[in-house]
Amino acid sequence: MGFFDDSNDPFESIVREFFQEARPRTTSSRDLIRSEKEERVIDFIEEDGVSYFVFEIYGYSKEDIKVNVGKGFVEVQAKKKDFENVQDYLINKLSNGITIKKEIPGLKVKDYSWDFKNGILEVRVKTK
């Protein structure tokens, strides 16, 4: 069925040729959120036997974050546990969580600590 019910209408054939009988494409906001590319900012500073790693991780609380530091790597995992006061469109993304692993060749860990405030995670690694 076209714009007009007359299949012999010349205008209908022009429209059909121009649009090649294509259907409009639609996307769901859920597809957009799932496919959006994660780009995290990670800063690395080394000073007086201490290495500092600063990660931007918004949408999570301190209880949602796990930090693991070992020989040659720093790994951060975040997965939302409490969805109170979280907007619906963010629930799926935050419940899937994220894992960020930064490899640092030659990193020898003596001790480490971390703090998370206002979406910024700072990991302090004392090196040998």
pLDDT tens by residue, 13-52: 666 666 665 554 444 444 444 444 455 667 888 888 898 9
- Of residues 112 and 89, more confidence is placed in 112
Tell how far CA 5 is from the center of its chain: 49
Across residues 111-122, what is the average pLDDT?
94
pLDDT in tens, 85-101: 888 878 888 888 889 99
The CATH class of 38-127 is mainly beta
pLDDT at 37: 47
Q: Helix, strand, or coil here: 117?
A: strand
Q: Which residues 6+ apart lie within 8 Å of 15 measured at CB? A: 2, 3
pLDDT at 39: 56
Q: Helix, strand, or coil here: 29?
A: helix
pLDDT at 123: 95
Give domain limits for the chain: 38-127
